[in-house]
């Protein structure tokens, strides 16, 4: 089939030509005397994206899962308590990782389609008078269900209860896309990857670390080697890395950061909110439902759409890809077959979202789901044309 495949999954996202061009360079010596002239400003500007001045941002080869492991391994000890809510595939996987590390996992199961249950978190933390819970985990944006949770409210709760637990946040599909404020929200460890809001190929784990987290590292007894913060910080201080870095990806990251800062983080959040609302209005016009159980949970980076009873979401996904060269996100785990996901984050504008929505409409019609052709696209067009970015 001629033309490009439309990428409408929630990661990896579309890569700007400017980022691709920045990586189209000859391989370089990462021990060269002038390498720090590139890396030191890069690491400093990453702190602007995470919105921290007192913390550090480290870059490891890897993906978001590596960031989870780094956060846990550097700050906790065997048997430490961690509090986590499971309400989707990625919070489930983070929970599983904690168990594999021998932590005392206090898991709160939540209906998939909702987010962090603030009332249940407060109950668990208030009952923990001995402060056995050493870390509170929050999946900021649960990609599998299209749900965003309130990180700032969790910090407020910890402060109100005077609970000393670290606040760890999975920001893989939120940082550099929707509003995230590491220092203001008192986030101690923030995990991100290069393939979503940063508009790059998969391959970098990007991790924000607070001074409190570095203090916790002094007594942490879980094993770490490749992801050891001390090794990385010591080398980064002089602009180098403790092992061979993914220098080509770092060149792309430089271009990505430049683009993000040029647009402005507040503007990026507004753009994502606007693009997402157009997609949500399309879903409503198709007379379909989102997996997210209410507007308070709606994600601005991905919409998980529930198909009617008697239909298989995988048929929609396969039809969209095979007939119309449109990549949609699969439903994972317990929502497999029930939802397909439309990613609307990263290097994206209205026309690109409309193209994806048009492909979804054709796929829905082809598999027999009753929709009125043009209804969803029309609803999005009406919203976009009537609601301009400020």
Give the pLDDT score at 387. 78
Co-location of 250 and 272 in the same domain: no
What's the domain range around 361? 6-12+264-386
Cα separation of 102 and 173, whole Å? 27
Same domain for 318 and 248: no
Q: What is the structure's pLDDT at 1?
A: 66
CATH number at residue 258: 3.40.640.10
Sequence-distant (≥ 6) Cβ neighbours of residue 101 within 8 angstroms:
72, 73, 76, 78, 222
Domain count, the chain: 2
* Helix (H) or strand (E) run with residue 224 in it: none
Same domain, 282 and 363: yes
Same domain, 228 and 275: no
- On whether both 80 and 185 belong to a single domain, the answer is yes
Quick check: is 39 in a domain?
A: yes
152 inside domain: yes
Cβ-Cβ contacts under 8 Å for 322 (sequence gap 6 or more): none
Given 262, 294, 315, which residue is the final one in a domain?
A: 262
Burial class (CB in 10 A: 0-12, 13-18, 19+), 155: buried
For residue 182, being part of any structural domain is answered with: yes
Axis-axis angle for helices 350-366, 375-386 (nearest 10): 160
Element (H, E) at 165: none
Mean pLDDT in consecutive groups of 10 residues from the start of the chain, 390 residues: 91 98 97 98 98 98 96 98 98 97 98 98 98 98 98 98 98 98 98 98 98 98 97 98 97 98 98 98 98 98 98 98 98 97 98 98 98 97 85
Same domain membership, residue 158 and residue 209: yes
Per DSSP, the chain holds a count of helices (H) and strands (E) of 13, 14
Name residue, tokens 């027999």: 368
Shared domain check, 315 and 248: no
**Any domain includes 359:** yes
N-term to C-term CA, the chain: 38
In this structure, are 148 and 205 located in the same domain?
yes
Indicate whether 162 and 179 sit together in one domain: yes
User: 293 CB contacts (<8 Å, ≥6 apart)?
Assistant: 111, 113, 114
Q: What is the pLDDT of residue 101?
A: 97
> Is residue 215 reached through a cis peptide bond, with omega within 30 degrees of 0 on the bond before it?
no
Give the residue from 134, 140, 119, 135 showing the smallest Cα distance to 191: 140
d(CA 371, CA 296): 26
> Would residue 64 count as lying in a domain?
yes
pLDDT value of residue 390? 61
My answer on whether 258 and 361 are in the same domain is no
Q: Is residue 1 part of a domain?
A: no
Which of 242, 262, 282 is the last residue before a domain boundary? 262
Among 231, 262, 293, identify where a domain stops: 262
Contact predicate 175/49, CB 8 Å: yes
């Amino acid at each position: 089939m001629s033309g490009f495949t439309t990428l409408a999954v929630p990661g990896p996202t579309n890569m700007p030509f400017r980022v691709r061009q920045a990586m189209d360079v000859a391989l370089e010596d990462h021990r060269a005397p002038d390498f720090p002239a590139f890396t030191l400003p890069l690491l400093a500007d990453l702190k602007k994206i995470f919105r921290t001045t007192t913390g550090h941002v480290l870059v490891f080869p890897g993906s978001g899962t590596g960031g989870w492991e780094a956060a846990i391994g550097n700050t906790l000890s065997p048997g430490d308590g961690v509090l986590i809510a499971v309400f989707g595939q990625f919070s489930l996987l983070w929970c599983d990782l904690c168990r594999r590390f021998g932590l005392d996992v206090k898991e709160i199961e939540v209906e998939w389609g909702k987010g962090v249950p603030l009332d249940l978190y407060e109950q668990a933390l208030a009952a923990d008078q001995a402060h056995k819970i050493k870390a509170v985990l929050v999946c900021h944006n649960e990609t599998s269900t299209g749900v965003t949770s309130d990180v700032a409210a969790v910090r407020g709760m910890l402060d109100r209860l005077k609970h000393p637990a670290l606040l760890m946040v999975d920001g893989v599909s939120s940082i550099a896309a929707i509003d995230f404020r590491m220092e203001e929200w008192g986030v101690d460890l923030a995990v991100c990857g290069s393939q979503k809001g940063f508009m790059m190929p998969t391959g970098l784990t990007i991790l924000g670390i607070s001074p409190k987290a570095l203090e916790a590292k002094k007594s942490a007894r879980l094993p770490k080697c490749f992801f050891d913060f001390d090794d990385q910080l010591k080398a980064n201080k002089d602009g180098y890395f403790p092992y061979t870095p993914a220098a080509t990806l770092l060149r792309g990251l430089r271009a990505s950061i430049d683009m993000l800062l040029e647009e402005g983080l507040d503007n990026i959040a507004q753009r994502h909110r606007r693009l997402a609302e157009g997609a949500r209005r399309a879903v409503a016009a198709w007379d379909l439902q989102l997996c997210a159980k209410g507007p308070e949970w709606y994600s601005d980076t991905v919409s998980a759409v529930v198909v009617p009873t008697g239909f298989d979401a995988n048929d929609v996904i396969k039809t969209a890809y095979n007939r119309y060269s449109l990549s949609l996100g699969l439903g994972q785990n317990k929502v497999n077959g029930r939802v397909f996901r439309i990613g609307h984050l990263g290097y994206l504008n209205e026309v690109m979202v409309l193209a994806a929505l048009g492909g979804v409409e054709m796929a829905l019609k082809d598999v027999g789901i009753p929709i009125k052709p043009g209804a969803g696209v029309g609803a999005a067009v009406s919203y976009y044309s009537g609601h301009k970015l400020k």
